[in-house]
Amino acid sequence: MKPPRFRYYAPHSLEEALAVLAEMADEAKPLAGGQSLIPMLNMRLARPSLLIDLNGLHELSGIELDNGALVVRAMTRHRAVERSPLVAEHTPLLAEAIRWVGHLPIRTRGTVGGSVAHADPAAELPGVLMALDGTVQLTSRRGQRLVPAEDFFIDLLTTAAEPDELVTEVRFPSLPSRTGTAWLEVARRHGDYALVGVGAVVSLAEDFTTVTEARLSFIGVGGRPVRARLAEAALRGQPVAAETWRAAAATVRGEIDPAGDIHASAEYRRYVAGVLAERALALAAERAREGARQ
């Protein structure tokens, strides 16, 4: 398959890219890693008249800490995140989930900003952002704004970004002490999109016997990443025990409303979501204990 005809533009600076995007916002499409956009072009699912190639904008690459938050600029490759000691130390949920993104060649080319902007509901990075209450920085010639993940992801391949805005960085806040995280997912084959995935965040009391805070973020069960708010609320103040995780799994199954498709039925996704939630919560709690003892 071949893409439709389009014009190609390679800006030399972010300012230049934003100027072109502002002028042709309704016709242009930014090109980052191309791991989603190029197949969509080839299948004629996307038909922009202009591609703005961001790969020369080195100012949009890099990972750093800012007031305790991990900042990942938009053109940072998945592979760079996977290999970053800074990510492993400060945002282990991201370090764990990034290894589930496609295969190595895809992670070598794919970018953090591209994955977030594409907003596939089965993609790992949007799920991690939701689990960690992260934010997305959007930039246009009108200025910059930070959008919480909860407000950024709207529906299938739909975000709060305006046509003249670019995702320029994502931010993952630091987590409190005695907190553990875990990412689990199920796919038909390694490297496929997740049928169901979950990111769990569990914070424990000083004696490690009680849950003080918990978060559960699911992918593959809706048009965008889904937080299990009822299950999260029910977990607060509960003992660290297998019964607690099983009860949370039951709450999750009653709370989410996945759709069925050719890959998996709604019933299967609902069941698997509960299984993964139970396992991820137990693993996150154990990691919270281990991390505090080191």
pLDDT in tens, 80-109: 999 999 999 999 999 999 999 999 999 999
CATH 3.30.465.10 fits 62-172, yes or no: yes
Q: Assign 65 a pLDDT band (cuts: 50, 70, 90).
A: very high
Q: Assign 293 a pLDDT band (cuts: 50, 70, 90).
A: low
pLDDT in tens, 35-54: 898 888 888 888 998 999 99
CB of 93 within 8 A of CB of 131?
Answer: yes
For residue 294, is pLDDT > 60?
Answer: no
| Sheet containing 28-31: order of strands | 7-9, 50-53, 28-31
Helix (H), strand (E) at residue 216? strand 211-219
Q: Which two tokens stand for residue 131?
A: 């689990």
Q: Which two tokens stand for residue 40?
A: 């969509």
Q: According to CATH, what is the number of the domain 7-52?
A: 3.30.43.10
| Cα(34)–Cα(30) distance, integer angstroms | 9
Q: Assign 292 a pLDDT band (cuts: 50, 70, 90).
A: low
Least confident piece of the model among 111-115, 191-195, 199-203, 216-220: 191-195
Domain ranges of the chain: 7-52, 62-172, 179-293
Cα-Cα-Cα-Cα dihedral of 33, 37, 39, 44, to 10°? -160
Whole-number pLDDT of residue 2: 82
- Mean pLDDT, residues 130-140: 98
- CATH superfamily, domain at 179-293: CO dehydrogenase flavoprotein, C-terminal domain (3.30.390.50)
Q: In this structure, which amino acid lies at residue 78?
A: H
Whole-number pLDDT of residue 264: 95
What distances in angstroms separate CA 284 from CA 15, 147, 171, 203, one per listed residue? 42, 27, 21, 9
Whole-number pLDDT of residue 58: 94
Q: Assign 25 a pLDDT band (cuts: 50, 70, 90).
A: confident
> What pTM did the predictor assign?
0.95
| Sheet containing 179-186: order of strands | 179-186, 196-204, 211-219, 226-227
CB atoms within 10 A of CB 204: 23
CB of 277 within 8 A of CB of 198?
Answer: yes
